[in-house]
Each structure stands twice: as structure tokens, then as C-alpha cells.
Amino acid sequence: MIYGDRGIGKSSLASQIGRIAQGDVELLAHFGEHDRALAEEQRYLVLQVTCTVTTRGITELLQLMVDAMRDLELLVEPDSSDGYGRLVDRTTKRKVTAKFVEVEWVKRYEAKKGVSERPDLTPMQRFSGLVDHLASESGQSLLFILDEFDKINDTTGIASFLKESSSEFVKFLVVGIAESHTELMSEHESIARHLRPVLLPIMTLEELDEIIERAEASLAARDVDLAFSARARRRLVGIAGGYPWFVHMIGKTALTTAYDNNQVIADSGDVVGAVRDLSTNQLAQPFNEAYTRAVKTSRQRELVLRVLAMWRERDIPTHRTYEACRQLGVRSPSNYRGQLAHAYYGPIIRIPNIPQQGPCQFIDPMFKVYVSMREPVTDINTDRIAEACAGF
């Protein structure tokens, strides 16, 4: 299980694990871990499943996995001497030059796929039937990558299913947003001994800077003379708050601006402009909509929201932040904090059961970073906020 905040690369890591499971050694070679490469007979058939808000529970999850297996097709290599091939997904098939032939192997697989259409079978029976067939016919173990697992509304029964279905030939990789692995899956006790949780933390400044370094190297390899100034790199890394998504989004916009202006160096001003453009960037629209819904037209609520976002740690103490809010002219900061926890305004934050005690938290830590960098919608002074929060 891979878990952590949104926007830190969990799906990317899962994708790399899938590549390694299929025999790809590029990442292993990068880290000098050649001895961890899988021999051909150890490699997996990887099936990617992405959960959505319509994946209400175990029934819908099983159907997604059945659909993933049904989408597999047989690839016969042009130089195959015996006419037999290997199973691949349709995306991979499009990337490989190959021909398809009607051999008995194909007929057996196609016939077995029909089991998923039988109305008399339960989703579990369809799943088990296709898994058994794929494992026996392909001669490979199966790895199911269950991405965006946090979107499943009711995980009842899934932990038991994963435990019972896991074997030497069937493995599952669960990926989702959570603060702990126990938060991601109910009934987690039933698979505790079988679970290998991996917390993916936010990135360090050095790791974020490496993203920029790789981007510049990629441009140079294409004979594109374009890079960041040292000051722009520091600024970009500093405002990203540990989230690579912001480095990618803001960095791309800054480089594009520099290129359009016939510059070979993207400077700090280009980064500032790219941050300003976040409020209109289509890919950042969910953040923009959440911000405008929380603030609406209230200058006081926007001040409280931005002061809370200025606190560096995840747990935000009331006594310190309320003091800063009062310096900025907010008379009843607790009222506005309560509003930000209400569904009408988001909710944006979660507060303790006893509102007057304990710290509050942003429900989405990535949104907390967005709040601290975007332009305000009312006539507040961001420099004054920075002064009031200088001790944070």
C-alpha cells in the first residue's frame, strides 16, 4: 500500500513499480540496483485499475478488475516461431509492432473471457474465473494496481477479499490519499500481517530542485537553450511546499513565458507571473473553485484562511493564529474558522470535536500551499499578513 498526501507522486511510483514488475530495469539501473531486476519467469502481468466516485464498494471494484482482465489481448511477436504470444494491455499493444493470428491459444482465451458476461455468476466468481485462466494460460503472476483507492465510498469486505485473493501468483498494490494506512481501508486488521505500507512523504528541497535540473537537462538534450536562473530555482522550490505538482505546473508556465519572450533564462519574475496565473490555469481550477467558495466576498474570512495557511506545520494552533488575525483587524476569528469547517464553504478545514480546544487542520494539505501562494480575491494586503505571521 502506497499512501500519503495528494500531488506527491503516488501514482507515478506505482507506475514505476508496475514497470519493474514487467521487467523494466531503467529505474533500478538509475539507483544501481541491478540485482533487484526480475528474471523472465518472475515477471508479472500488470493490470491497472483506477477507482472513481462511482466505485461505491467491493462490487464495483471487482467489476473494474474484471473489465481490466477482459481488456487484455494476445500479442504475437512477428518473429514468434511457434505462433504463441503473450498477454498485453491495449495501450502497450499500440506501441509494439506485431501481428495477430488466430491460433488455439487465442480461441481458448477468448472463450474464457466470455465468463465475465454470464449473468448467473457473481462478480467474485467472474473475477476468480478470469484470474485462474490468465495465470494458467499466460504462465505469469498477476499484479493489480488499485489506484485512487481513497475514492471508494465503502471499503467493507475489501480487506478480507485482498487477503483471501492474494497468493504466490496474485498480488495487489493499493494506492490512495491518506494520513495513515489504517485510514485508507476499513477492517485493515484482517490483512495487517500481509500488508506492506509505504508512506510517501512530501519532497525535500533537494528533490524538488532535481526536478528542475532534469527538466533543464531534457531541454538541453533537445538543443533548446532555456533554463532557470538560480534565484528563480530557489523561489520555485521554496513556494512549492514539498509538492512536485506545483514545481511542474509553475515551472512549465514560467519556462513557456520566457521562451515566448525570446529569453534563454526564466527569472524570478517569470515564476511570480506563473504563480499569479495559477488562479486561471485550467489544471488548477479545482483549487481556484475551492478558494472562491471558501472566501466568497468576505475580506475577514479570507484573512483568517490565509493566516491559517501561513502556519508551517500540519496542526494549526488557535491561540497563535487568532493573535495574528486580531492584529489584522479580525474581531472574531473563531467564527470564521468555524465557517471554513462548514460544508457551505467547503469544508476547507477540520476542527476538533470541542472547537475551542486543540489544533485544526486543512483537509487537503496541498490546498494549504495553494492558499499561501495565490492572489487574494478581496482587498487584503499580503505583505501585512506576512508581517503578522512572521513568528510562525
Cell numbers placing 189:
486488521
- Is residue 74 in some structural domain? yes
**What SS3 class is residue 196?**
coil
Closest Cα partner for 280 from 380, 374, 382? Answer: 374
Cell numbers placing 361:
487542520
Which tens digits make up the pLDDT trace of 132-152?
A: 888 877 788 999 999 999 999
Taking a C-beta distance cutoff of 8 angstroms, is the pair 38, 136 a contact? no
| φ/ψ (deg, to 5) at 217 | -65, -35
* Strand spans (E) along 294-382: 349-350, 361-362
The confidence score (pLDDT) of residue 101 equals 31
The percent of residues above 70 in pLDDT, for the chain, comes to 87
- Is residue 119 in some structural domain? yes
The confidence score (pLDDT) of residue 170 equals 95
Query: How many other CB atoms sit within 10 Å of the CB of residue 104?
Result: 9
Query: How many other CB atoms sit within 10 Å of the CB of residue 183?
Result: 13
- Is residue 146 in some structural domain? yes
Those residues of the chain that have pLDDT short of 70 are 73-119, 188, 354-357
Classify burial at 344, counting beta carbons within 10 Å of its beta carbon; exposed 0-12, middle 13-18, buried 19 or more: exposed
The three-point CA angle 375-323-337 to 5° equals 60
The confidence score (pLDDT) of residue 80 equals 44
Question: What is the domain range of residue 136?
Answer: 2-199
The confidence score (pLDDT) of residue 100 equals 35
The confidence score (pLDDT) of residue 194 equals 86
Cell numbers placing 200:
510517501
| Count of domains for the chain | 3
Which tens digits make up the pLDDT trace of 297-336?
A: 999 999 999 999 999 999 999 889 999 999 999 999 999 9
Among candidate residues 173, 199, 225, the one where a domain is terminated = 199
Among candidate residues 151, 175, 199, the one where a domain is terminated = 199
Among candidate residues 141, 167, 199, the one where a domain is terminated = 199
Statement to judge: residues 238 and 382 lie in one domain: no
